[in-house]
Structure 1
Amino acid sequence: MSLMSFPPAPSSTSATGPRSVFDGRMPAEPGDLRIEARGIAPVPGHHRYGGPGRLFTVWFAPNLTMTGVFTGTVGIALGLDVPTALAAVVLGTLIGAVPTAYLGTWGSRTGAGQLPLARLAFGRSVLVPGLLQWLSSVAWDALIGLFGGDALARLCGWPFWLGVLVMMLGQGSLGVLGYEAIHRLQKLMTFVLAAAFAALAFRLPDSVQHAAAAHGADRAGAFVLTSTIALSLALSWAPYASDFSRYLPQDTSRPRMFWYTLLGVSVSFVAVQSLGLWGASVFTDQTARGVEGLLGGGILGGLGLLAVALAALCSNAMNDYSGSLALQTIGLRVPRPFAAALAAVLGFPLVLWMHAADTTARFQNVLLFVGYWIPGFVAVVAVDWFARARAGEPVDPTTESVRSRSGRPALVAFCAAFAAAVPFMNTGLYTGPVAAALHGADLAYYAAFLTALVVYAPFRLRRRPAV
């Protein structure tokens, strides 16, 4: 089997075992918590189950993390007042959530994950976005594990490194168990975490005044940057989207899938970022300490820290799961459970690095840099999908060959998108000339998306893909 051909979807697993590391055991029904060995091979139609409603909980619970709360404090730190910062958060979140919701509808139709599906457009060139996606999953492990590990360490009286280590072991185990274990956990944690964060909001001061420190063009730049950071959070799920809908039946309503995903992503992110901007004076770099201070050191404080740790566990399990599919997509023949555990292992030293110095600066730098490649990726795969739908082309990953397709046009558009984004970037490590001229406004995501459309759409819409 070529590394770049779609693995077949066997009707059953033979007595001698699966055909390759890409195939393997699949969950058979809701609640089947045995280890999912299934890798990037599409899920056959007869093995699908579940309904679109589970997409709300799987996209709601993982966003109720202190990462989102900490991100919400950024608008205040940039000099915005609460209403203006909230408007920026809502705008950015909705813009980022729409592509994630749209891409998520592909899972039920094809039975394939998002990076494996990207090979339809990228061909052999999928190596580039696949590697970036895998590295991004490791980075997200660190971004979220930073706060979860801190909370666990405070709860148990451990040193920081031990809290992070236990956190990584837990999330890696969930990533190993796979699709159904993650869905079931997110359903339970939707209610648990919603209650915990509501209690946290209740304990915040009744009146918090954050007067605008930025004015004029500086205020406009801060608004755009705050909006872009919110957008980056919601859009970061786009390369994962169909990974968590690939077991849904093929006839599942795509509009319902879209709206459940959109609501799950947007409502959760707006809620936690609103909490962050409201309590910006409390939630500093050490957000776990802020939670402990708000809720007190008794049972309520302990439950709050436990909720923070569980929230990180929920989110990072999804990072490890999708990271395992990305690692197989680039051609590495490693079992999916092993690949999921590997992402958690590599996230551990990155957490320690972020914790060792200026957490705010390193957090923002990692958050933005892990997402700048995503708009170009979304534009390319969306155009390819649109072209197929317009031409009435069948989309069957189990039969379509990508071995003879270099994917050069998609790769050119992808690279051009990133290059176009560079002048618009604004991070602590680099500020592009356009961003500087616009008083810090980061428009890199928009520049990347539009560039990829302009470069790739004319080619793809006038030609059929090689098969």
Structure 2
Amino acid sequence: MSFPPAPSGTPDTGSRSVFDGRMPAAPGDLRVEARGITPVPEHHRYGGPGRLFTVWFAPNLTMTGVFTGTVGIALGLDLPTALLAVVLGTLVGAVPTAYLGTWGSRTGAGQLPLARLAFGRSVAVPGLLQWLSSVAWDALIGLFGGDALARLCGWPFWLGVLVMMVGQGALGVLGYEAIHRLQKLMTFVLAAAFIALAVRLPHSAHPAAAGSVHGADRVGAFVLTSTIALSLALSWAPYASDFSRYLPRSTSRPRMFWYTLLGVSVSFVAVQTLGLWGASVFTDQTARGVDALLGGGVLGGLGLLAVALAALCSNAMNDYSGSLALQTIGLRVPRPLAAVIAAVLGFPLVLWMHAADTAARFQNVLLFVGYWIPGFVAVVLVDWLARARTGAPVGLTTGSNRSPSGRAALVAFCAAFAAAVPFMNTGLYTGPVAAALHGADLAYYAAFLGALVVYAPLRLRRRTVG
């Protein structure tokens, strides 16, 4: 499959001062990146595909992933069965993320800006959802990072979260290159910290050798565990090309795919395996569990610091992609300011999650922030492949190469969510199909297939204008 080169220039925004701006010029250029959703021109690209492994590995080494891993045991599965569910779900979710990430080098554009090709003006809907999701992820991850920082420094919880949000907001302001450089360093630091946790775990935790659910209930718990793991890996899909848009067009796409796939899947499987093994230790008070597991003292303090740094790394990416999503909606807000806004709004959501049943609220937010993503992925994939089939140019410089209204994409997107509703299983709502299947949540699969069935005939029948 091949596309003609994407033309250079700016999108039809009418405001270069907001959507355009300064770009990093080379590895290590840590000045503030003002560049918004305007595609990065070919002559300004740099870097190699190897940096995609570290940028997708480090941000997943968070206690959010560890806590998510405990869910399989909490649902009554034994360790081997829960681990199989985690591996399968992670791989299914990581493949679309890795494929979408290869689009960045081909177009110089972020993922939500690229979605305008399919959605046209209707991109405001997935753009708003992506922005809200980035705020929600700030809370999901900042919950544990803020708690760890507060315990480490002897602060109240709210102050730990506030300092965490200030730090991640600053990184989001610095932008693309600062995030890549930090993730490269943190890959080694955080990997060492989590290896230390893994070494101590067998002496303190007692993994579930036998499950408490059987028959159809066991199948339902397996599917739900797999879906939760899938939701983690797939949650990066709307961000994917944001962190490859500065790579040269000539960058090997297979290498980009495999580096991203390995970065996402290896990290998520590793941290969820820790959660499965140490479910008896890592309860709602995950940061306290880390401190106790490492025996307190200096080693426990280093463990808490690693938890806080991991949250900082991950949430910086949330704020960065959230800034691009906010511009994609059509708001003429400078990208650095948009990153700050996402960090600020994440603060009260963390406090809300911490105020009551953390486990229940965590699972509900985790699932709900992702139910829209499979429909989005299906729509942009079909549109991309349709353009490949016709040889239409893939660029964002003119209105002629994207759907003016995006009505068909929006209809399919809404149909995908409607198709998912009967299959959902959360603490707030359980669909009739999920209830009949003993809790098995198949909503992500239903949403993807629903969008595919609705959008593919409409898109393939429409003549692509280029």
What is the TM-score normalised by the length of structure 1?
0.96
Question: CA-to-partner distance for each residue in 1:346-382, whole Å, 9 max, x for gaps?
Answer: 0000000000000000000000000000000000000
Matches within 5 A, 1:21-420: 21-206=18-203, 208-210=206-208, 211-401=210-400, 405-420=404-419
- The CA deviation at 1:209 is 3.7
Task: Show CA shifts across 1:417-459 (max 9, x none).
Answer: 0000000000000000000000000000000000100000011
Q: Is the CA contact 2:7–2:395 (under 8 Å) kept in the aligned structure 1?
A: no
**What is the deviation of 1:321?**
0.1
Query: Does the 8 A contact of 2:104 with 2:244 survive in 1?
Result: yes
Q: For residues 342 and 275 of structure 2, what CA distance do their matches in structure 1 show?
A: 28
| Residue-by-residue CA offset, 1:227-261 (whole Å, 9 max, x unaligned) | 00000000000000000000000010000000000
- Residue 267 (structure 1) shift: 0.1
Distance verdict in 2 for CA 1:402–1:251, change over 3 Å: closer
Are 2:364 and 2:428, in contact at CA under 8 Å, matched by a contact in 1?
Answer: yes
Secondary structure of the corresponding residue to residue 204 of structure 1: helix
Q: State the alpha-carbon separation in 2 of the partners of residues 401 and 128 from structure 1.
A: 21
- Please, what is the CA RMSD of the aligned residues? 1.4
2:18 aligned counterpart, secondary structure: coil
Opposite residue 192 of structure 1, the aligned amino acid is V
Residue 400 of structure 1, CA deviation: 4.5
- Return the offset for 1:298: 1.0
Matching residue of 2:3: none
TM-aligned CA deviation for residue 394 of structure 1: 1.5
Give distance in 2, aligned partners of 1:202 and 1:239.
35
Find the aligned partners of 2:449 and 2:113 in 1 and give their Cα distance. 24
User: What displacement does 1:265 show?
Assistant: 0.1
Counterpart of 1:13 in structure 2 is none
Amino acid across the alignment from 1:350:
L
2:98 is aligned with what amino acid? A
Provide the secondary structure at the position in 1 that maps to 2:16: coil
| Alpha carbons of structure 1 residues 445 and 107: separation in structure 2 relative to 1, 3 Å | same
Q: Percent identity over the alignment? A: 89
8 Å contact from structure 1 (residues 7, 42) kept in 2: no
* Runs of 4+ with deviation above 6 angstroms: none
Instruction: State the alpha-carbon separation in 2 of the partners of residues 393 and 401 from structure 1.
Output: 10
Q: In the aligned structure 1, how far is the partner of 2:364 from the partner of 2:97?
A: 22
Counterpart Cα distance in 1 of 2:45 and 2:200 = 44
Give the residue type in structure 2 aligned to 1:9: G
- Which residues of structure 2 form unaligned runs of 5+? 1-5
**Alignment partners' CA distance in 2, 1:462 and 1:452:** 16
* 8 Å CA contact 1:405, 1:466 repeated in 2: no
CA contact (8 A) 1:417 1:448 kept: yes
Find the aligned partners of 2:55 and 2:303 in 1 and give their Cα distance.
21
Aligned length: 455
Measured at CA, do residues 7 and 327 of structure 1 come closer, stay the same or move farther in structure 2, by a change above 3 Å? farther
Structure 1's unaligned 5+ residue stretches are 1-5, 11-17
Q: Distance in 2 between matches of 1:410 and 1:397?
A: 17
Does structure 1 conserve the Cα–Cα contact (< 8 Å) formed by 2:23 and 2:33? yes
The C-alpha deviation readout for 1:47-86, integer Å capped at 9, x for no partner, is: 0000000000000000000000000000000000000000
Q: Which residue of 2 aligns with 1:14?
A: none
